[in-house]
Amino acid sequence: MNDLIIEKTQSTPYINFSHEHKKLFISGESFPENAAKFYAPILEWIKQIINDPNTDSFTADFEIIYFNSSTSKVFMTIFDTFENAVKKGMQITVNWRCDSENETAIECGEEFKEDLSTLPFNIVLVKGVENG
Amino acid sequence: MDNIFIKEDEVIENAENAIRKNIMGSTEGEALYKDLLYEYKKLLKQTKSLVKMSDMMQLQLHDLSRELERMSNTDGLTGIYNRRFFNEIFHKEWYSAFRGKISIGILMIDIDNFKKYNDTYGHLQGDRCLKLISEIIQKSVKRPRDMLARYGGEEFVVLLAETDIKGCRAVAEEIIKSIEAKDIKHAGSPYFPRVTVSVGIAVTVPDDQDSCEKLLNMADEALYRAKAAGRNCCME
């Protein structure tokens, strides 16, 4: 499996999937014109890693300060996929990292968390999360 | 209404009733129906979360936009309106006065010997003085449609809608008196031992020959006359 790195743009986040470190990192803002198209390679990568026989655990860090409705729907799909993988025995942890002063980002994290039952979803408060 | 998803919840209720009444006909049909209902409930829950998050984001953007608007209209140091916003409001009031054939007044206010004040006390104290003067002037600009703005360095402008020369003079004199009464020490001034202001007054009932710029120029010229007449006074 190859690593996947997508540089951030004005409307899309920075994405770094490291197969070696078993880590997915998304940071910045997300309001792509076509969320389905933008996130298609990411969803494909996720599908591959959860079906990879050599991978039994990985971490996903989300550090998103602003996102649109289409993005939140994609995130729900991602978390849903993770949740199904966790049910099948994979160890996945999601860290929803947000600035301790960004109430909206914190509340959104809580909203995502509420819909999940088996996926460990941590809301991590950090100081000074900025765009990308 | 305490829920915007009434119709969706009704669909779930009807589906659950159908399961209870056992009208599927076959075990396979019932199992499929239950699975579909489960998926529907899950997706509806997602949609509700999505709408909630979207609302939160929109509210945050709305608040930010209000704050940006306030910042773009305000002078950073004194907190009163800035010249850009003054021009915007002045144009509106001008056309309103033009249509209604009502008089409109401008006071151009300048702190006397302010350069000397900065030289004597330093720029930080100069900034404090500007802030204090703007607060004092603001107290004399009372009606909702009247407006005080920072026009330049130590220059302020007051817009007095629906005000004749008598009214303008009264406001100008009140400003001059209240600043003098505050007795802000000004050791560097060759004229008065305290901070004072000069005020130029211009009033007009706008007609075809008039313009906003012309009224501002008239106020500026009157301000020069007040300076020439010895400062700490107003001229028309």
Which 8-state DSSP code applies to residue A10?
S
Contact present, B57 and A66 (Cβ < 8 Å): yes
* CATH code given to domain A4-126: 3.30.750.24
Which one of B16, B30, B67, B154 is the catalytic residue?
B154
For residue B45, which residues of chain A lie inside 8 Å, CB to CB? 115
Cβ atoms of residues A63 and A129 within 8 Å: yes
pLDDT value of residue B1: 66
- The tokens for B6 are 């009434």
Q: How many CA atoms lie within 13 A of A8 on its CB side?
A: 16
Helical (H) or strand (E) element with B194: none
- Partner-chain contact A66 B57, CB within 8 Å: yes
Mean pLDDT of B19-44: 88
Which tokens in the block code for residue B215? 């009224």
Q: Tell me the Cα Rg of chain A.
A: 14
Contacts of A107 in chain B (CB under 8 A): 53, 56
Mean pLDDT over all residues of chain B? 94
Q: How high is the pLDDT of residue A132? A: 43
Triad B122, B82, B154: Cα angle to 5°: 30
| pTM higher than the cut 0.80 | no
- B chain contacts of residue A104, beta-carbon cutoff 8 Å: 56-57, 59-60
Distance separating alpha carbons of residues B188 and A4, to the nearest angstrom: 68
Question: ipTM value of the model?
Answer: 0.83
Catalytic, B154? Answer: yes
The domain segmentation of chain A, as residue ranges, is: 4-126
By CA distance, what is A65's nearest residue in B? Answer: B57
Q: Which stretches of chain B are assigned E, i.e. beta strand? A: 104-111, 147-150, 155-160, 197-204, 234-235
B64 and B73 Cβ atoms separated by less than 8 Å: no
Q: How far A41 CA lies from chain B's nearest CA (Å)? A: 22
Distance from CA of A105 to the nearest CA of B (A): 9
Considering only CB atoms, A104 lies closest to which of B45, B49, B56, namely B56
Place of tokens 């109430």: A103
Residues of B in contact with A112 (CB under 8 A): 49
Give pLDDT < 50 ranges for chain A.
132
Tell me what the mean pLDDT of segment B41-52 comes to.
92
Q: Give percent of chain B with pLDDT exceeding 70.
A: 100
**What is the reported pLDDT for B23?**
80
Indicate the residue of B53, B59, B60 with minimum beta-carbon distance to A111. Answer: B53
Distances (CA, A) of A89 to A85, A86, A95, A102, A115: 7, 5, 19, 34, 20
Most A CBs within 10 A among B45, B48, B49, hence the mutation to make, goes to: B49
Cα(B201)–Cα(B163) distance, integer angstroms: 12
User: Which residue among B52, B59, B60 places its CB closest to the CB of A111?
Assistant: B52
| CA gap B125, B123 in Å, rounded | 5
Predicted confidence at residue B21, as pLDDT, reads 87
Alpha-carbon distance of B170 to B166, in angstroms, equals: 6
